[in-house]
Amino acid sequence: MKVLEEVSKLRNKKINKIEKLKEEQKALDFWNDFETICSGKYEDLTEVHGKHLLKCFGIYDKGSSDSFTIRIRIPLGQLTQEQASKFSQVAYKYGKSTIDLTTRSQMEFRHLNLHELPIVLKELESVGITTFQTAGDNFRGVITSPFDGYSKTSLITCEDLIQDIHDVFLKNEEYIGTLPRKFNTGILGDTVNDCNIFGQDCAFVLASKDDELGFNLYLGGKVGVQARPLNLFISPNQVKLTFKTIVDLFKKYGFRDNRNKNRITYFLDEIGIEEFEKAIIETSALPLKTAGELLVKDEYKIDKSATIKLKDNKTAVYFPIPSGIFNSKDLHCVTILMDETNSILRLTNEQSFFLIAKDEFVQRIKEFQIFKKYDSYHNVYFNNQIACAGANECSFGVIANKSDAINMAIYLNQYVPIEDAKIRMYWSACPKGCGVHGVADIGFEGAKAKDENGEFCDSVKIFIGGKATTSIQEARQLSKAIPIAKAQEVTKELLTIYKNERINNESFENFDSRVLSFLTIEEIQQRVGL
């Protein structure tokens, strides 16, 4: 503990502006005045409101009285028919029908009016959904497999464990806006990594030890950085206290100086993973075992049937949502389908969703027009796609991004159509990497470059070789910033190589491990025309 204390003192002699704002008002005091504040003028909102307090309750001030965004906390990414129906109504009535599906299996509503915010939040709370602590220096939605509890490879059901994690911080004044920086958490009880589990600040990953199922612990992930393993095995009944210990250590000793380097990964860089491991053992007083055998080794693939067979006579039916752009009308149609087939909705980290229903209802789901609409997007380039908000919604965005990702998928499907394949294509509109392009099979990072006429235009850097099935970060930069039209041609050539040389319909990730990883970047560039 001495090392943690010494490093913390050195780094926290000066605190950043947001930390100073936190001292002006407690988050729950602000929440008690929330309706009064929202009934006033937009111009009366202060800096502490926009940069800290509103974010504690999932609200982003986008610069005008009718442009607020709210982020929803959806445990397991799971919606009942009642909840989905309420979301549809809220988006239609207050958010110009816009719904964004996110990379944490959550939803965002945009274009909201300041005066209507209290009404919207009450509407959501009426069906058991909250926005508390989903933005700012708080805990993002806890991720897990979209098939948690349903998959044949789901060895530990994590629903109750996620509730245990929520019990630590959710609506607890001690943790509302008090962390040094945001904190992403994941827990995976499945052998398939279908939720970017290694990209979290804190990840509990399925493992076995002495014939017991539990989790190996990983810490320090973020966009572009995979979490690193600790030599600790966590039993299911140890998850809650282990999680609380980690966040309390981060809260007490974490850095509060440079916000660009205040995530827990930077703290671990300074003190060393072994010191933090010792601090967890000492503080929790749990009889923690050394790490076990990691069981997360697989990946799932969506074939042309758009279904994945689950256990207990259930099936997941896939709805690919290009770039996560959804709307209230289509969600309303889905709720009708859910009601008739007694199905639930599970969001994915790839900005799409599955309906899970009994096998007998699968054909009925496929007969609905709303399924046929999105099944028309069913090609391998939409199946595993991510695109962050982009320049239209984010001040950091360099390119539009979502439309660029969609256009790329359409282009590739026209020139390199492939069946029975899996290619994870992730887009970030800027170097911040919110589209997690660094772990993609093929990743794109928004940039500006000159076109053939010498004029600056929307461009991307291309990355290849990110991994979903391991904690090893292997993405390599394939190109400097090139115009998007050129990026389409390069990606077409890359996927032509994959299509012609893959074996037994292997995924792009396996193909990269078998073929591309043994080539130099220069050799790959030559083959794709760079």
pLDDT by residue (tens digit) across 361-389?
A: 999 999 999 999 998 777 899 999 999 99
Distance from chain centroid for Cα 171: 22
pLDDT at 82 over 90: yes
Query: Quick one: average pLDDT of 106-120?
Result: 97
Per-residue confidence (pLDDT) for residue 125, from 0 to 100 = 97
Per-residue confidence (pLDDT) for residue 363, from 0 to 100 = 97
Burial class (CB in 10 A: 0-12, 13-18, 19+), 365: buried
Per-residue confidence (pLDDT) for residue 475, from 0 to 100 = 85
Under a CB-based contact definition with an 8 Å cutoff, are residues 156 and 162 in contact? no
The CA angle 253-254-257, to the nearest 5 degrees, is 120
Nearest by Cα to 466 from 273, 104, 221, 208: 221
pTM > 0.85: yes or no: yes
pLDDT at 6 over 90: yes
Q: What is the 3-state secondary structure (H, E, C) of 406-447?
A: HHHHHHHHHHCCCCCCCCCEEEECCCCCCCCHHHCCEEEEEE
| pLDDT, tens digit, 9 for 90 and up, residues 159-202 | 999 999 999 999 999 999 999 999 999 999 999 999 999 999 99
Helix, strand, coil distribution of the chain in percent, nearest 5: 40, 20, 40
Query: Quick one: average pLDDT of 484-491?
Result: 97
Round to whole Å and give the CA distance between 372 and 370: 5
Per-residue confidence (pLDDT) for residue 72, from 0 to 100 = 96
| pLDDT, tens digit, 9 for 90 and up, residues 413-428 | 999 999 889 999 999 9
Query: Quick one: average pLDDT of 295-317?
Result: 92
Query: Tokens 């492939």 appear where?
Result: 418
Please report which confidence band the pLDDT of residue 470 belongs to, taking 50, 70 and 90 as the band edges. confident
In this structure, are strands 344-347 and 202-209 parallel, antiparallel, or unpaired?
Answer: unpaired
